């Protein structure tokens, strides 16, 4: 099997923990198991703090709408850092700053680019959570966001989505024919031998208490 060197571009990476980071970590690990080399291109508030020879960063600054994240206003500096790495394919995880840098890199090198669509960032529920409560503002941002996303993903060789549901939304909203590839799950993390009684003891819960499990990120747009 041919081994590839793959540049994975993401606006978020460790030490941040979210769904995209989990996806990137899983993707990197599984690619490396197959003998491929994964290069991570991302943003960081303190680039020098990342001690990983396969992670290259562009200086990021706190993003007001998501204070836990940093965003790079000039993401192209990361492209210069991997200029001579002989990348075979680019895999973008975002249509935003690092995603645009990924597009620029693939074009400059004449190599293919694919992109995974992770979040319905143009959805009204998300826009309402972070924008002023003004219908005109929300409509204008929604229209411009969908227009940009259509422009971006039409320039990628293939757009990957995690479900048929998202595929239909992208087809309807931005005229993209996406490929459904379900997100991988590391089932070993959930193969615990701990019993329910042991879990109750660990969490200091009595036997009459109900256990409610939530899987997901707690954020404003999710109420």
Question: What domains appear along the chain, each with residue ranges and CATH number?
Answer: 5-189 (3.40.50.2000)
Q: How confident is the model at residue 65 (pLDDT cuts 50, 70, 90)?
A: low
Residues 162 and 93: their CA atoms lie apart, in Å, by 12
Residue 62 tokens read as 């706190």
pLDDT digits over 118-145, tens only?
988 888 877 877 788 888 988 998 999 9
Question: Using an 8 Å Cβ cutoff, are 159 and 115 in contact?
Answer: yes
Mean pLDDT of 166-193: 90
Query: Rounded CA gap, 167 and 216, in Å?
Result: 21
pLDDT at 82 exceeding the cut of 70: yes
The pLDDT-based confidence of 146 (bands split at 50, 70, 90) is very high
pLDDT tops 90 at residue 110: yes
Residue matched to tokens 């990342």: 50
**pLDDT over threshold 80, residue 223:** no
Strand 5-9 vs strand 158-161: parallel, antiparallel, or unpaired? unpaired
Provide the pLDDT confidence category of residue 147 given band limits of 50, 70 and 90: very high
Q: What's the pLDDT at 222?
A: 66
The per-residue pLDDT of the chain, averaged, comes to: 89
């Amino acid at each position: 099997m041919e081994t590839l060197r793959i540049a994975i571009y993401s606006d978020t990476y460790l030490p941040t923990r979210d769904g995209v980071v989990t996806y990137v970590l899983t993707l990197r690990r599984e690619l490396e198991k197959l003998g491929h080399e994964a290069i991570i291109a991302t943003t960081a508030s303190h680039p020098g703090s990342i001690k990983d020879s396969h992670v290259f960063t562009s200086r990021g600054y706190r993003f007001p709408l998501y204070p836990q994240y940093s965003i790079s206003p000039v993401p192209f500096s990361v492209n210069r850092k991997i200029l001579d790495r002989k990348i075979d394919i680019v895999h973008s995880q975002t249509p935003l700053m690092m995603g645009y840098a990924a597009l620029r890199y693939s074009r400059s090198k004449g190599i293919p680019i694919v992109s995974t669509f992770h979040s319905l960032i143009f959805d009204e529920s998300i826009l309402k959570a972070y924008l002023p409560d003004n219908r005109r503002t929300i409509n204008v941002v929604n229209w411009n966001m969908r227009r940009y996303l259509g422009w971006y993903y039409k320039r990628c060789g293939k757009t990957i989505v995690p479900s048929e549901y998202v595929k239909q939304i992208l087809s309807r909203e931005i005229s993209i024919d996406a490929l459904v590839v379900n997100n991988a799950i590391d089932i070993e993390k959930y193969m615990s031998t701990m019993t329910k009684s042991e879990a109750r003891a660990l969490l200091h819960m009595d036997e009459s208490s109900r256990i409610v499990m939530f899987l997901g990120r707690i954020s404003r747009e999710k109420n």
